[in-house]
A and B are shown apart, each in its own frame.
Chain A
Amino acid sequence: MAGELIKLTAAELAAGIARGELTAVEVTEAHLARIEAVDEKVNAFLHVDREGALAQAREVDAKRERGEKLGPLAGVPLALKDLFTTEGVPTTAGSKILQGWVPPYDATVTKRLKDADVVIIGKTNMDEFAMGSSTENSAYGPTGNPWDLTRIPGGSGGGSAASLAAYEAPLAIGTDTGGSIRQPAAVTGTVGVKPTYGGVSRYGMVAFSSSLDQGGPCARTVLDAALLHSVIAGHDEKDSTSIAQPVPDVVEAARNGEVKGLRVGVVKEFRGEGYQAGVMQRFDESVALLRELGAEVVELSCPSFTKALAAYYLIAPSECSSNLARFDAMRYGMRTGDDGTHSAEEVTALTREAGFGDEVKRRVMLGTYALSSGYYDAYYGSAQKVRTLITRDFEKAFEQVDVVVSPTTPTTAFPIGERADDPVAMYLADLCTIPSNLAGNSAMSIPCGLAPEDGLPVGLQIIAPAMADDRLYRVGAAVEAAYQARWGHPLLEEAPSL
């Protein structure tokens, strides 16, 4: 029974719990047992909150017995990226500098999950401070891709995506600054959504690059992602960049997938050198599928997208060099060298040296460089101008089409270690996802098959204008249904058993 429970979708689990056919406790126990059985190999979790999860599950079961109305995801286990604060539960952001830190408050996302009776089962592994595309930059060891444990699960949210693909949780939360939800979803054969910037509160989400960071849902199906999206999204007065508008009805859209008459844009800059042949083959098949389903496909050019990666790797490090200044060894986190012989400033520098990993150091220095006088206009200032050009390219594109589609990532999952010491090669993993972060619009990745040459999952990216997140779900649900009809089963069924 437990083996079947972990394969159910979040929607199915919630329905079973609401009808009294399942208890939240047995559902939680089944997932805890799965984590116990496979996570030594996968390393998706940094912390498993067994007691907290079971207490939350018991509360859900008690509510049901009392006849109280349950929310649409009540009792469903969820894996939370370790970038969100959780009161009383350790939060590390994948960094040594926060090892052992127990936050005194909940992030807004955490609070909304708890209020919706979602069972937070643990905190997931990630690249340190969400900087990376492989989860190798975690201070706590890499996460394996459940399709092939010697390969990366994407990053920075590799733990969240791997926990879904390994059936350790049916739902997860990620954050997406340059692709950290979508790229892991693509390489693990799962679904990930970067909502419109400002759609989900950043309060209590450890800041990396504040004008780009966005939390969002991860799941194995489009409908599950929509249900989770609707729980966490919406205005929050604790985040001044949170959008004070109603959340688009993503659940209705996910329940009514349709692309007939839809104008779908294919951007010519999203192909060429660096794109794996099997990825492009599955992408082209997806475009053909959209046509078969009644969509009109329009070829587009967005010339400034070729500069998106460069602009991103100036803007994000610049903002991170400022945001990470808070790790000064004074108020929380690690402190090293406080032996009475060093000044406060020296203790800060010694602690940051010991507590930050290489990629964080690189980005902090790169950002410091890009913002320093003499270089500011050439680097940070120019990158901000490129950001304007990319936003304009999207505006022009969305005058002609309803959504844009692309591969989510140029290649399938690469072997752990392959790009670890070559930052520029690593950054290429975000080639197709970054433009949406710079423009602040919404985007999703869904599975679109396996690359013939390596048998690994390929992601289809769907991009919609800001606050049109529902379009992602309408298109995603239609494509998902068509592919599953063609394959006869969800793609994840083809993953080797762990």
Chain B
Amino acid sequence: MPGISREEVAHLAKLARLELKDEELDHFAGQLDDIIGAVAAVSEVADDAAVPPTSHPLPLTNVMRQDEVRPSLTPQQALSGAPAREQQRFKVPQILGEE
């Protein structure tokens, strides 16, 4: 399987919302390449149709409960850790452009 390039790491960092510094890109590219090399052995079973994937150790489907009102956090509690708040809401930086 192909290794991972510095450009790919930059792309992954963007997808993962990490504003990496240039020196970090160099550092991580080498390390991620090593890790991917070490885990590539799993791909030997990629085409084995006789083996279904396991996503979870328990055979659970949806767990439902009654749709009823219960005590929950107050707005004040829910906002208690917010970096910024205004009028009982989370205050966030600009999301849409000016126009």
Which residues on A are within 8 Å of B, measured CB to CB? 101-105, 197-198, 211, 237, 240-241, 243, 306-307, 309-311, 313-314, 321, 325, 328-335, 338, 340, 342-350, 352-353, 356, 358, 361-362, 364-366, 368-369, 372, 377-379, 381-389, 391, 423-424, 427, 438-440, 466
Q: Indicate if the CB atoms of B95 and A379 lie closer than 8 Å.
A: no
Known interface pairs A365-B18, A366-B36; A240-B81 also in contact (CB < 8 Å): no
CB closest residue in chain A, given B48? A385
Chain A facing B: main interface SS: helix
Known interface pairs A333-B83, A365-B28, A386-B42; A344-B92 also in contact (CB < 8 Å): yes
A340 vs B83: C-alpha distance when bound (angstroms) = 14
Q: Indicate if the CB atoms of B54 and A387 lie closer than 8 Å.
A: yes
A104 vs B48: C-alpha distance when bound (angstroms) = 48
Query: In B48-97, which residues have CB < 8 Å from any A CB?
Result: 48, 51-58, 60, 62-63, 65, 73, 77-78, 80-84, 90, 92-95
Known interface pairs A333-B81, A350-B19, A362-B35; A382-B63 also in contact (CB < 8 Å): no
Chain B facing A: main interface SS: loop
Q: Indicate if the CB atoms of A381 and B46 lie closer than 8 Å.
A: yes
**Which 4 pairs across A and B sit closest by C-beta, in order of nearness?**
A440-B57, A332-B81, A384-B53, A335-B83
Q: Indicate if the CB atoms of B42 and A314 lie closer than 8 Å.
A: yes
Known interface pairs A333-B83, A389-B51; A382-B19 also in contact (CB < 8 Å): no
Query: In B5-35, which residues have CB < 8 Å from any A CB?
Result: 8-9, 12-21, 24, 28, 31-32, 34-35
Q: Indicate if the CB atoms of B34 and A104 lie closer than 8 Å.
A: no
Q: Indicate if the CB atoms of A424 and B17 lie closer than 8 Å.
A: no
Known interface pairs A352-B18, A368-B12; A338-B93 also in contact (CB < 8 Å): yes
Q: Which residues of B contact A347 (CB under 8 A)?
A: 93
7 A-B pairs whose Cβ atoms sit less than 8 Å apart in the complex: A309-B39, A334-B83, A349-B17, A362-B31, A364-B16, A372-B12, A427-B38
CB closest residue in chain A, given B94? A343
Q: Indicate if the CB atoms of B95 and A389 lie closer than 8 Å.
A: no
Shortest Cβ gap from A106 to chain B (Å): 12
Known interface pairs A105-B73, A211-B55, A388-B53; A372-B42 also in contact (CB < 8 Å): no
Q: Which residues of B contact A423 (CB under 8 A)?
A: 31, 34-35
Q: Which residues of B contact A333 (CB under 8 A)?
A: 81, 83
Shortest Cβ gap from B45 to chain A (Å): 5
Q: Indicate if the CB atoms of B65 and A385 lie closer than 8 Å.
A: no
Instruction: Among B35, B46, B65, B90, point to the contact of A424 (Cβ < 8 A).
Output: B35
Instruction: Among A211, A349, A369, A438, point to the contact of B18 (Cβ < 8 A).
Output: A349
Shortest Cβ gap from B74 to chain A (Å): 8
Q: Indicate if the CB atoms of B83 and A365 lie closer than 8 Å.
A: no
Q: Which residues of B contact A369 (CB under 8 A)?
A: 4, 8, 12, 32, 36
Q: Which residues of A contact B92 (CB under 8 A)?
A: 330, 344
Starting from the known contacts A237-B65, A313-B38, 16 additional A-B residue pairs (CB-CB under 8 Å) come to A104-B73, A211-B57, A310-B39, A310-B41, A314-B42, A321-B16, A332-B81, A349-B19, A353-B21, A362-B31, A364-B18, A365-B32, A382-B45, A391-B57, A423-B35, A424-B35
Known interface pairs A102-B80, A243-B58, A334-B83; A385-B93 also in contact (CB < 8 Å): no
